[in-house]
A and B are shown apart, each in its own frame.
Chain A
């Protein structure tokens, strides 16, 4: 007599933990039904475009989650230098000329540098890093960046003993960045990190996306990526990196100090004054998911030992 065998694999059944959380399970079912009702994307997703970059190493650091499609990563952007709507950057990025581009690294360093972006990129083997990106507006993506650790660059310029912070500055040129014609923020956009945050191995200077040269709307040709901080810390189209003794000003905290601090660390327990940070919508998903402390990069927690987490927003 033939033995009855299940025709589905154990891995295809509902995980026990989920099964036991009946209410969540029912909600998921209802959400699934709703997302089926939501029109499927029929148009074929656009393939990544732009010049390919040589990649020496790859690191998947988003818990194995699928990357957000190229189309979404390059068409839904906060880059106020092109306009304040999410669709403005992709529509207007054509005015940005990311080559030739000069970057200056100066301030409290023994070997200041001013060099062309391509000369800068050639100094380092490029790595692909797949990171979660959590926006302060409670949405998130998974993005395969290409770049090199900021720490590697900082070691080459040899910070002095007075170097306690790193300040970053975006290009100021309303002809290339037409959003700068309106004083929505105090241009140019400036950001900053503590030196130990800047030299943390997770902190990346990105020059590409999906193996391709960074598109204008994503901050070409050079942008900062700090995966445990809200997206606004990721200053785009960088022209100057200055090491400083004093904490540098940052654009959003200058505009609204009660809403944005210097740190901008992702923390589900510390709400933005106008909305909760407990959950986030991963682009492409229906249900919101729980936000993770430090956006899931808990290894950086030791940088903040002894500091009040309520002051690290």
Chain B
């Protein structure tokens, strides 16, 4: 068995590897022309996919502990959440600076007129305060109860993120449905645990 501090480091390093792997692969695929005929769209879609994936992953540790008793994934929640925000920020930056090339008029019209973009933008705005207050300092400043209440916005962000994806696809709802089911199960598990035992301490 690995000792306490070594194990702790292993978990953190593992978390970082998982967080950075999709970005590394994306850069490698870009450099090797593996993104097909429309690389701008491919990058945008992949960044969106990983945002949703990390949002779902960040919601996993708590129910996982109540299902299996496994506690170590709880230490990765912050990293997973900040990673989700980072992919969301990259996704938006790519849309803004590459896909639309800073055409602020078109972007403004998109955000106001296209419900799927409105919802996507709202998702990013919900994640922003969570990323900002992700530090220990902010937990102290807000007090744990308020900090925790604020960070429940992650649930809304995950749901809105799925709506953003579902409203974007033309006909094939399979992938958004998978995200909806996974995130739905994770949120319902929390609700069930809460109904069973009252508010949980984490």
Contact = CB atoms under 8 A, between A and B. Distances in A.
Given A139-B41, A185-B171, A76 B101 contact: no
A279 B106 contact: yes
Contacts of A31: 101
Nearest to A27: B101
Contacts of A72: 37
Interface stretch (B9-17, B76-84, B110-118, B180-188): B110-118
Given A139-B41, A276-B109, A283-B37, A184 B171 contact: yes
Contacts of A39: 30-31, 33
A203 interface: no
Interface string A126-146: 000000000001010000000
A39 B98 CA distance: 14
Nearest to A179: B172
Interface stretch (A7-15, A51-59, A79-87): A79-87
B126 to A, nearest CB: 21
Interface residues of A, number: 36
Nearest to B31: A39
Contact of B36 (A27, A42, A76, A274): A76
Interface in A21-50: 27, 31, 34, 38-39, 41-43
Contacts of A139: 38, 41
A274 B171 contact: no
Given A42-B33, A80-B171, A184-B171, A281 B38 contact: yes
B37 A80 contact: no
Nearest to A284: B37
A27 B102 CA distance: 9
Q: Is the interface of A mostly helix, strand, loop or mixed?
A: loop
Given A276-B110, A287-B101, A75 B31 contact: no
Interface residues of B, number: 27
A311 interface: no
Contacts of B36: 75-76, 86-87
Nearest to B106: A276
Q: Is the interface of B mostly helix, strand, loop or mixed?
A: helix
A255 interface: yes
Contacts of A87: 36
A206 to B, nearest CB: 19
A274 B115 contact: yes
Interface string B91-107: 00000001011110010
A255 B171 contact: yes
B156 interface: no
B151 interface: no
B125 interface: no
Contacts of A162: none
Contact of A184 (B41, B109, B110, B172): B172
A110 interface: no
Interface string A273-301: 01110110101101110000000000000
A65 interface: no
Contacts of B110: 275-276
A72 B106 CA distance: 27
Contacts of A182: 172, 174
A41 B172 contact: no
A71 interface: yes
B37 A84 contact: no
Interface of B: 30-31, 33, 36-41, 98, 100-103, 106, 109-110, 113-116, 167-168, 170-172, 174
